[in-house]
Amino acid sequence: MTQDKTADSGIENEVSKGNKFQKPKGVHDILPDTHEYFTFVKKVVRHRCRQSGFRRISTPIFEFTDVFKRSIGNDTDIVSKEMYTFQDRKGRSLTLKPEGTAGVVRSYIEHNMQLLPQPVELYYIEPHFRYDRPQKGRFRQFWQFGFEMIGESDPALDAQLIHLAHLINEDLGVAELFKLQINSIGCMKKECRPRYMTDLKNFYFGKERSLCENCKGRTEKNPLRLLDCKEEDCVILAGLAPTLKDYLCPECKEYHEQLLDLLKALDIEYVENPSLVRGLDYYTKTVFEFWDRETGAQNAIGGGGRYDGLVEIMGGQPTPAVGFAAGIERIVDNMKREHIQVPRKDNLHVFVAQLGYEAKKKCLKLIQKLRDVGIKTVGALGKASIKAQLHLADRFQAPYTIIMGITEVRDNTAIIRDMKRGSQKIVSYDKVLDEMKKLIGEESLDTYSPGEVVY
Ligand code: HAM
């Protein structure tokens, strides 16, 4: 008999309570009420992206592990600690995507998108996976929407992309809660970031003992990350460290100044933050995040930046690019906290109650006819008593109930009951649809033509 490894490792309490399963730590069910928020966020994103000429892309949930290692960087937290990596049956190493940019760039190269008009503008709305320490707003499976502009470099593109993110925040009613933090981390030209890195390493040389456990290993491997550590001693040291801004090459400096000028022209408030470096290695020049005005970096709803070297690192031609992604759970949390209402589409119009087999048969047809004209309908065809069905109609909060019993079948009629007023009237079966449409109002009908399908 094989041993149950889960039970063996002592984590069986996480799998189930008694004989009831529970979800793994760090993931969550998106229940119907929350889905209304998710749907709204997705609609706003789709709408704004379409307006701006972006087209939607979905890359696979998993990629070869090297796609992420090479792009995000081996020494980042994401790659070194947070990836869900597994081997398939042929021993290939695969990883659930921890972020969207690497897959999009892989796809851009694989599908020769450099032959399309540039920049190629793509957006995605996808689940991502990180073995993060679960806490408020930090999950192991979370949704991001993101957009990437690949193929051109100009501060105006960075400004447009930031503006797009800002407009989405405004549409969602959360723009006021967040402030844009922005920085330039320079380029890979010798006199720019590499010169800074040498001086930064020299600065930290001999000071390792004052750093937190996490940062001790970073002085050689990933010294930029030392700048955005939130531990007190590390913050003090980072405040004394040389500033990247003083090392930017003339081109990066001018690029950044122009970007700030364009943001002003677009009326986008920002804070210049010299210690903003981001947790992914692929960035060059512009980096930015939207920070919670009160709690700061910990609850950033989104971030992005320019990544001019990534396409080449991933095997393509040198191609500049810029992108952004935001966490949908964090946005929805903020919307709920601010009591922002989203349009409810799930509310029912009518409940159909029936008594007797012949009535049930007629109702079965009627329900579909109602639905076909956009009347949101449920029927309790499995329930026996009218009392139980009316009770259910109340619980569904349907404003109307259609009732058919033996008499109505015989007379070819139906009863329409106004649930709020408690009044009811008898109408001819053939007139039920028209009558219901009148009561509900054409504008409230939930109709669509295939050209308008919203998913
Ligand atoms: P990121 O800053 O790692 O950037 O993630 C973007 C956003 O995803 C974060 O600001 C946060 O709202 C959300 N997020 C990240 N991790 C979690 C988590 N464990 N739980 C819940 N939400 C989370 C990127 O992913 C880059 N790919 C952005 C980008 C696109 N850069 C260029 N193009």
Please give the Cα distance from 145 to 324 (Å, whole number): 8
Q: Which atom, in ligand 1's list, is nearest to the CA of 299?
A: 12
Please give the Cα distance from 331 to 61 (Å, whole number): 22
Q: What is the DSSP string of 198-223?
A: HHHHHHHTT-GGGS-HHHHTHHHH-G
Q: 321 with 149: CB under 8 angstroms?
A: yes
98 Cα: distance to centroid of ligand 1 (angstroms): 9
Q: Is the CB of 126 under 6 A from ligand 1?
A: no
* Both structure tokens of 426: 């008898």
283 Cα: distance to centroid of ligand 1 (angstroms): 14
Q: What is the DSSP string of 362-407?
A: HHHHHHHHHHHTT--EEE-TT---HHHHHHHHHHTT-SEEEEE-HH
The H-assigned helical ranges of 205-356 are: 213-216, 218-221, 232-240, 250-265, 310-313, 328-337
Q: Which atom, in ligand 1's list, is nearest to the CA of 130?
A: 19
| Mean pLDDT confidence for 228-236 | 87
The CA-CA-CA angle for residues 389, 394, 396, to 5°, reads 90
Tally Cβ neighbours within 10 Å of residue 402.
Answer: 29
pLDDT of residue 452: 57
Closest CA to 284 of 307, 252, 267: 307
pLDDT in tens, 153-198: 999 999 999 999 999 999 999 999 999 999 999 999 999 999 999 9
Task: Determine which residue's CA is closest to atom 20 belonging to ligand 1.
Answer: 138
Pocket test for ligand 1, best of 124, 330, 332 (most atoms within 8 A of CB): 330
pLDDT in tens, 383-401: 778 899 999 999 999 999 9
Please give the Cα distance from 60 to 126 (Å, whole number): 10
265 Cα: distance to centroid of ligand 1 (angstroms): 27
Task: Determine which residue's CA is closest to atom 13 belonging to ligand 1.
Answer: 327
Pocket test for ligand 1, best of 82, 142, 178 (most atoms within 8 A of CB): 142
* Both structure tokens of 250: 């003339």
Q: Is the dihedral of CA 8, 13, 17, 23 positive or negative?
A: negative
Q: Is the CB of 119 under 6 A from ligand 1?
A: no
CATH fourth-level superfamily of 350-444: Anticodon-binding domain (3.40.50.800)
* Both structure tokens of 134: 């679960």
Q: Is the CB of 323 under 6 A from ligand 1?
A: yes
| Mean pLDDT confidence for 22-36 | 95
Residue 94 has pLDDT above 60, yes or no: yes
What values do phi and psi take at 247, rounded to 5? -110, -5
Q: 329 with 166: CB under 8 angstroms?
A: no
pLDDT in tens, 276-306: 999 899 999 999 999 999 887 778 999 999 9
For 8-192+248-337, the fitting CATH number among 3.30.930.10, 3.30.2320.30, 3.30.1360.10, 3.40.50.880 is 3.30.930.10
Please give the Cα distance from 282 to 313 (Å, whole number): 9
- pTM for the structure as a whole: 0.91
What values do phi and psi take at 163, rounded to 5? -65, -40
pLDDT in tens, 38-50: 999 999 999 999 9
325 Cα: distance to centroid of ligand 1 (angstroms): 6
200 Cα: distance to centroid of ligand 1 (angstroms): 26
The structural domains of the chain, with segments of one domain joined by +, span 8-192+248-337, 350-444
Q: Is the CB of 324 under 6 A from ligand 1?
A: yes
